[in-house]
Chain A
Amino acid sequence: MLEAIKVIGKSLVASPERVREADEDLDVVRRVQAGDVSAFDRLIVKYRGRIYGVIYNLTSNREDAADLTQDTFIKAFQSINRFQGQASFFTWIYRIAINSTLTHVRKNRSRSFFSLESINSEEPVSREIIAALTDKTGADRDTHVRELQEKLNEAMQKLSINHRTVVTLFEIDGLSHQDIAEVMDCSVGTVRSRLHYAKQLLQAELQQYISA
């Protein structure tokens, strides 16, 4: 239990699932540190989708997201011996991913073109929203989904990189304020403030899609 608390690190709110997940990750990391390199593949398979999703939503570019996700895992693999378990592996690798992405975005600030993934419109969550929007505007469904997707990405890219990161981690990835604060190395208050401000900006940008 003590080790689990240590793994969670500074997180004040830790669900049992999170504790168990952190324990499992730590076991795998210990195996990798002991020389079992193939054990790292488990971590890759486990986290690649989430890492890719975060980076993709920050960059709005598929190719960049793929490259940065691979770089994230390579950096994590190279420095796995420095991981001491003071934070969870999840927080650690998220931090690597966020830092790599921030560096990439700041370096390529002038270059911005989107290459978007397709939205699975048959998902229950998206189906309701898309149906509501389609009924409201009366436009063609696929065209409307594509337009909405582009508009969403444009609105996200208008945010600063810090605000974009907070929105991505909270609204899209579902992290808690505390987890975001750990990943971004800032206070919870800063996270809340950024989130509030980012939502205000997004609301102004997406006003035409939002119900009155």
Chain B
Amino acid sequence: MNNGEKQPVTVESLIRLKRIEQPAPEFWAQFNSDLRAKQLAAIVEKPRWWERRSRVYGIFSRHPLALGTAAALAVAVFSVGEYRGTRVSSPVAAGPDEDAYATAAAAAPGPSEAPAALRSSPLQAPARSAIVEARSVPVKSAEESYGRESRPTAAAPIASAAVAPDAARDESMQFERSDRNVVSLGRSFSAMNLAAIQAAEVAHDQFALSKSFESPVSADGGSQAVEPLARMTSPSDERRSRIMGDAVVQTASFEGGTVSPSDHFASRLPDDRVFDSISRYASDSDRLSIRF
């Protein structure tokens, strides 16, 4: 072999030299005997706990699709349940007065007794009382309703419309808290909707009653004689009661227990602004729009 016939030495040819690094034939005799001994030892030896665990994992790895689907379904069902529970247990307008109301309602033996905590919030009191009355007495007079308040406000019906679903949710939460093991989620929702509709009807009746007479309230709660002119309602009052009556029904029926930000905003409006903007209410067949 002369230099002209030599192949160039490359990395590949150098690496391939390692192919011929082979053990001697006698090596395999020793190898076989060692392997046989290890096989016997492996058969006799009890499998360790991690080996047993790896076998269990092997079973899981054989059916990854079915087990993965089952796990995903379980997680989805659990998540939906948790999400619903979170929505029910987190009221939109939770406040200290509502907690006080809930506590008072839980402590009260019957629904006919008005909780003392109701008086702490004059604006929302009519709605609360409406809820309570809806459970006990279907319709009470507006005079009686106003008698509980320190001052009758024109914004009270709006507040009732805004808080009624909230109060209804409180009612449903009371049911859950008092009998948590029994009351189901669907039942609480239906109770909430029913209470909201009843509250809307009560508020509508109050507006209707307020059209017929508006009497000043004495300190002892009784009504005095009213002059005939005072019995006459102004056109604005009549329009207000008509529009707000519709608004209450629509809010209660379509919002399904949720309190929109516009309701909160309306509940904070002073009386004169409500009267000024009452003409900006527009009600369609399925919505109520307020232009400020």
A residues adjacent to B (C-beta < 8 A): 44, 48-49, 52-53, 56-57, 62, 66, 69-71, 73-74, 77-78, 82, 116-120, 123, 125-126, 128-133, 135-136, 148-149, 152, 156, 167, 171-172, 199, 202-203, 206, 209-211
Flag if B38 contacts A167 (CB, 8 Å): no
Closest residue of chain B to A129 (Cβ to Cβ) is: B13
Flag if A125 contacts B22 (CB, 8 Å): no
**Which 5 A-B pairs have CB atoms at the shortest separation, nearest pair first?**
A211-B8, A117-B21, A171-B15, A70-B35, A211-B9
Chain A residues with Cβ under 8 A from B14's Cβ?
A: 129, 148, 152, 202, 206, 209-210
Flag if B15 contacts A202 (CB, 8 Å): yes
Chain B residues with Cβ under 8 A from A167's Cβ?
A: 15
Flag if A123 contacts B23 (CB, 8 Å): no
Q: How far is the CB of A151 from chain B (nearest CB, A)?
A: 9
Flag if A149 contacts B15 (CB, 8 Å): no
Distance, CA A3 to CA B122, complexed state (A): 83
If the complex has contacts A133-B9, A202-B11, are A125 and B34 also in contact, measured as CB distance less than 8 A?
no
Could you write out 11 A-B pairs with CB less than 8 Å apart? A44-B32, A53-B21, A57-B18, A66-B34, A120-B22, A129-B7, A129-B14, A132-B6, A135-B3, A149-B21, A171-B15
The answer to the question of B220 belonging to the interface, with a C-beta cut-off of 8 Å to chain A, is no
- Chain B residue total in the interface (Cβ 8 A): 31
Distance, CA A116 to CA B9, complexed state (A): 22
Flag if A126 contacts B17 (CB, 8 Å): yes
Chain B residues with Cβ under 8 A from A119's Cβ?
A: 17, 20-21
Flag if A125 contacts B19 (CB, 8 Å): yes
Distance, CA A167 to CA B7, complexed state (A): 22
| In the complex, chain B residues 23-82 whose Cβ is within 8 Å of any chain A Cβ | 23-24, 27-28, 31-32, 34-35, 38-39, 42, 58
Chain A residues with Cβ under 8 A from B11's Cβ?
A: 199, 202-203, 206, 210
Flag if A117 contacts B17 (CB, 8 Å): no
Contact check: which of A49, A82, A152 meets B17 at CB < 8 Å? A152
If the complex has contacts A66-B34, A70-B38, are A210 and B20 also in contact, measured as CB distance less than 8 A?
no
Flag if B15 contacts A56 (CB, 8 Å): no
Flag if A74 contacts B17 (CB, 8 Å): no
Chain B residues with Cβ under 8 A from A152's Cβ?
A: 14-15, 17-18
Known: A78-B42, A117-B22, A202-B15. 19 other contacts (CB 8 A): A44-B32, A44-B35, A48-B31, A53-B22, A57-B18, A70-B31, A74-B35, A74-B39, A118-B24, A119-B21, A123-B20, A132-B7, A171-B15, A172-B15, A172-B19, A209-B9, A210-B10, A210-B11, A211-B8
For B120-139 the 0/1 string (1 means CB < 8 A from A) is 00000000000000000000
If the complex has contacts A152-B17, A152-B18, are A62 and B23 also in contact, measured as CB distance less than 8 A?
yes
Flag if A77 contacts B58 (CB, 8 Å): no
Contact check: which of B7, B16, B17 meets A149 at CB < 8 Å? B17
Chain B residues with Cβ under 8 A from A131's Cβ?
A: 1, 6
The answer to the question of B179 belonging to the interface, with a C-beta cut-off of 8 Å to chain A, is no
Q: How far is the CB of A202 from chain B (nearest CB, A)?
A: 5
Closest residue of chain A to B37 (Cβ to Cβ) is: A70
Flag if B22 contacts A49 (CB, 8 Å): yes
Chain A residues with Cβ under 8 A from B17's Cβ?
A: 119, 125-126, 129-130, 148-149, 152
